Amino acid sequence: MNRKETVVLVLILMAAFGAVVGYLQTRSDPPRGTAPPFFYEIEATDIVSVRVEQGGMAESFVWDEEAEEWRFDDEVGESVDEERWGGMPVLLAGPRIERTLPDGLELDALGLEPPMASVIIGLEPSGEFRVLIGRRTPDGSAHYVKQSNNDTVFLVNAAWGDVISRLVTEPPRVVEADSDTP
């Protein structure tokens, strides 16, 4: 093989290698700046209370600054089960929207008037923030949601609404271990 053929072969191999690397990088890395916007954004550390209302039931939780833990906001004031509560403040700090819906929708048809569930988030130092959670979409993948002070309706992932609703239907209470069990 002469020198000219060797140079051409090396250039072809370099181009093929570059094409493979470029292809693999575009497949593995999601494009930057394409994450959907947040429904709302608050600092998880600013959340000092949470009240979830659903179907005539409600549960309230409060941050105990002294004990540095979340507690049920009731007469007993027991600690929440940290295994279940875990990242709840981060989850409540704001989900990403899947879609913004057009204005003028019938809120009652979406389960937003009255809401299927509502979340009142107490913030330090700025007061309260209220989120209304409606029905699931027909395909079951999202919930209709809106802020109480805004008429715009959004879709957020159904898992977000389901986890919030479970705070009422399955409160994160500490379950005492049964001493009779081996």
Instruction: Tell me if 38 is assigned to some domain.
Output: no
User: Is the same domain home to 138 and 161?
Assistant: yes
17 phi/psi in degrees, rounded to 5: -60, -45
Domain region containing 73: 44-169
User: Is the same domain home to 109 and 157?
Assistant: yes
Overall domain count for the chain? 2
Tens place of pLDDT per residue across the chain (182 aa): 677 777 666 667 667 666 666 666 655 444 566 788 999 999 999 999 999 999 999 999 999 999 999 999 999 999 999 999 989 999 999 999 999 999 999 999 999 999 999 999 999 988 999 999 999 999 999 999 999 999 999 999 999 999 999 999 999 999 876 555 55
